[in-house]
Amino acid sequence: MSGDRMEERLLGTEAKDSSSLTGKVWVESKKVWRVTFPAMLARVTSFGIFVVTQAFIGHIGNTELAAYALIQIIGIRFANGIILGMSSATETLCGQAFGAKQYHMLGIYLQRSWIINLVTATILVPVFVYASSIFKLLGEEDAIAEDAGYIALWFIPIIYSFVFSMTIQKFLQCQLKNTVVGWLSAISFGIHVLLSWLFVYILDWEIPGAMSAMIISNWLVVIGEFVYMFGGWCESTWKGFTWAAFADLWPVIKLSVSSGIMLCLELWYNAALVLLAGYMTNAAVAISAFSICLNISAWELMMCLGFLTGASVRVSNELGRGNGKGALFAIKVIVGTSISIGVVFWILCLVFGRQIAYIFTSEEDVAEEVSSLSVLLAFSILFNSVQPVLSGVAVGSGRQSMVAYVNIGSYYVIGVPLGVVLAYVAKLEVQGIWIGMIIGVATQTAVLGFITCRTNWDEQVNNASERLNRWFLKRPDDNGESSATEQLNG
């Protein structure tokens, strides 16, 4: 597909026959859902693999469930937060390059992200190798820490799959080609359920069976993405491997680190709260119940992260093409749509709060603890529908570092300390931790909302233009090669 046709599909401004507000909202909604739905499908099914594994391991035993929860929510969120956050730099750069019609730059930005993220993933491996010792050092129960350390080793191949799956997804979604990622993730999810049932229940492989199914499912998505990208379906944006990917990495590293900090502080917030749950009177029950609620909340959050993607792509595209008013209008439409969906899930959670627990456990005490958290869980889900969209706006405009400061203040100055006081001083235990979490997210949402409302979008258009000019490479020649020497210094 030619560059002009790609731009027409994704970037076409308001329809010429849609002068009314309703018509403009309808046109913008269609553009948003073209990006959002595949991203939502991919995120929901990808995270669903972790939830399904938790359900299978939860029926093996209570200690195993707590151990899996400990490493998945603390260890994997630690690694996932770094890699996903650093990958959002790819989202910013590819989205703005696509909006500016610099299609050849998308493949170069993608390769730069692979270099940075492969190094990052390798640095993270020791955290999983020594997970058991780390958890013991942090004061977790020995039995839970030992099982968590064993499960952590199985997660190492999955960390490396994140390096490619996350960055390729962002590369594709910026050019409206992420439908394939959604279907690959959905097919992989179905295969994962089948393999988990076969390995855990039929072959009775227990934890090795559950984790093997997860590794296979995650790498199936990566293999499918490579086939699609290298198979000629991205001819305008993927010109093959080039040494230009190694040129001028430092500005990209700085943006990646800002992005990484932004999302890490958000994902690690929940991890810190699970760690606190491990110090409760009955640690296994507290961790299990808290992690079940967190994973339910996070699974619903995956839908809202689809809107984060939609906001990021639409805002970055409009800024890249010099349309500040278009970016602002897209934000309003996406926020309204996301809140409407959040209200529906808020109601469902209030109605079916107790029944949810039995998907993950047969233990009555765990189910009772989950039930006591159901109202708080419902309000967390409601806040999930707003906050990711505002973060997506920041990613689209390249302001990740600003969000990082907001996250520090909201989560670690307000949320965690308040959760500790309510849990241990006010004796609310797990409920106190969760109330602190909700107040932290509410603070973050309010601050990001204020910043978004006060943003000068014409100024953001100029910032996007300057960023693209700094990191611009001349278009590839007939042989598909780019010269790093042609790049302007950033």
Per-residue pLDDT of 48-83, as tens digits, reads 898 899 889 887 877 888 889 888 877 887 787 778
pLDDT for 150: 94
DSSP state of 103: T
Q: What is the mean pLDDT of the chain?
A: 80
Using CB atoms within 10 A of its CB, is residue 22 exposed (0-12), middle (13-18) or buried (19+)?
exposed
Could you identify the residue written with the tokens 């709260």? 273
C-alpha distances (whole Å) from 315 to each of 31, 310, 334 are: 12, 8, 11
- Is residue 83 within 8 Å of 159, Cβ to Cβ? yes
Q: What residue type is assigned to position 381 of the chain?
A: I
Local confidence pLDDT in tens for the 490 residues of the chain: 444 444 444 444 444 444 688 888 888 888 888 888 887 888 889 888 988 998 898 878 778 888 898 888 778 877 877 787 777 677 777 877 787 777 878 888 888 889 888 988 999 999 999 999 998 888 878 888 899 999 999 999 999 999 999 889 888 877 778 788 889 999 999 999 999 999 998 999 989 999 999 999 999 999 999 999 888 888 888 888 877 767 766 666 776 676 666 666 666 666 676 777 767 667 777 777 877 887 788 778 788 878 877 887 788 778 877 888 888 888 889 889 988 988 988 888 888 776 777 777 777 888 887 888 888 888 888 888 888 888 778 766 767 677 778 878 888 889 888 988 998 888 887 788 889 888 988 998 899 888 888 888 888 788 777 766 665 555 544 443 333 323 323 3
Distance in angstroms (rounded) separating the CA atoms of residues 360 and 358: 5
DSSP state of 489: P
Tokens of 179: 């439908």
Q: Within 202-323, where are the H helices?
A: 206-228, 249-277, 283-320
pLDDT for 190: 95
Identify the CA nearest to 177 among candidates 352, 6, 431, 376: 6
End-to-end CA distance of the chain: 31
Reported for 413-419, long-range contacts at CB under 8 A and 24+ positions apart, including other chains, are 414/439, 414/440, 414/443, 415/269, 415/439, 415/440, 415/441, 415/443, 416/269, 416/272, 416/273, 416/440, 419/273, 419/276
Tokens of 476: 């590839």
What is the CB neighbour count within 10 angstroms for residue 322?
14
Distance in angstroms (rounded) separating the CA atoms of residues 288 and 361: 9
Cα four-point dihedral sign 468, 474, 480, 485? negative
